[in-house]
Amino acid sequence: MRNALIIALTLLMSAWALPATAIPSTGQEPADPRDGQIAGTDGRLLTVSVEIEPGLSLVGDPAAAVVFDILSDRRSWIGAGDVRFQIIDSTDADIRVRIASPSTVDQRCLPLRTVGRLSCRNGRSLNINADRWNGATEFWTAGLEVYRAYLINHEVGHYLGYGHVNCTGVGQRAPVMQQQTKSLQGCVENGWPYPDNPPGPLPYADFVDGEGPHATIDIAAFVRRIVEALRKHG
């Protein structure tokens, strides 16, 4: 039944095969259908670029897709309803997520000291240590997907003006602004600023083009996401 539904939705997506708005790829990684879509429904709009240092080999899905899926989740910073994010392919973005080798991150983070291990936010540049992106830490048990959510939400939190906090108590869920790469301090791993919100994107939020009465929904992108979800959880 699920396979039949996937086939039907795929045919439906083909029937709506009008060109979706897309941002050209920089060539650093394949263009992603999420490019140009908006995560969140209310608040100021911040553009986000995802840049990969040449020569790096990253584990899993394209980084831009991973970053967008994190930022569009209701447990991320959009959960408060006061900010939105849009992935674009431009270094003029408000926020530049820059995944790089440990040595490059160390240079980009100066005067902060990331000692070949940590990531940082420096201005509008979120400098992500590729070793952490690929492998989390030796004591992290919650899975790479959760660690990446922590990594992106933590550094975006700094951009939004939030500082570091400590574990609130042994066995408690770690605040996303805790430095969980250094130590859990007895807390439990957590990747989200609003972890009690339902998981997943806001309904239709990342398929809407425009605002107000002139907004339209990219049906092909909407159906494509349903197919992806069915295959992922099949």
Per residue in 89-141, pLDDT (tens digit) is 888 999 999 999 999 999 999 999 999 999 999 999 999 999 999 999 999 99
Q: Are 141 and 187 in contact, with CB atoms under 8 Å apart? A: no
Q: In the predicted model, is pLDDT for residue 13 greater than 50? A: no
* Distance of alpha carbon 143 from alpha carbon 163, whole angstroms: 25
Q: Greater confidence, 106 or 202? A: 106
Query: Dihedrals φ, ψ of 121, to 5°?
Result: -110, 125
- Please state whether the peptide bond connecting residue 111 to the residue before it is cis, i.e. omega within 30 degrees of 0: yes
Q: In the predicted model, is pLDDT for residue 73 greater than 60? A: yes
Q: In the predicted model, is pLDDT for residue 189 greater than 60? A: yes
Q: How confident is the model at residue 30 (pLDDT cuts 50, 70, 90)?
A: very low
Q: What is the DSSP letter of 8?
A: H
Q: In the predicted model, is pLDDT for residue 31 greater than 60? A: no
Average pLDDT over residues 149-174: 97
Q: How confident is the model at residue 25 (pLDDT cuts 50, 70, 90)?
A: very low
* Distance of alpha carbon 29 from alpha carbon 66, whole angstroms: 12
Average pLDDT over residues 37-44: 90
Percent of the chain with pLDDT strictly greater than 70: 71
Residue 16 CB coordination number (10 Å): 14
Q: In the predicted model, is pLDDT for residue 210 greater than 80? A: no
Average pLDDT over residues 37-66: 93
Q: In the predicted model, is pLDDT for residue 168 greater than 80? A: yes
Domain 25-203: give its CATH architecture: 3-Layer(aba) Sandwich (3.40)
* Highest mean pLDDT pick, 19-23, 34-38, 110-114: 110-114
Average pLDDT over residues 67-81: 95
Average pLDDT over residues 8-21: 40
In this predicted structure, which of 18-22, 156-160, 164-168, 225-229 has the lowest mean pLDDT? 18-22
Q: In the predicted model, is pLDDT for residue 1 greater than 70? A: no
| pLDDT score for 212 | 41
* Distance of alpha carbon 26 from alpha carbon 35, whole angstroms: 12
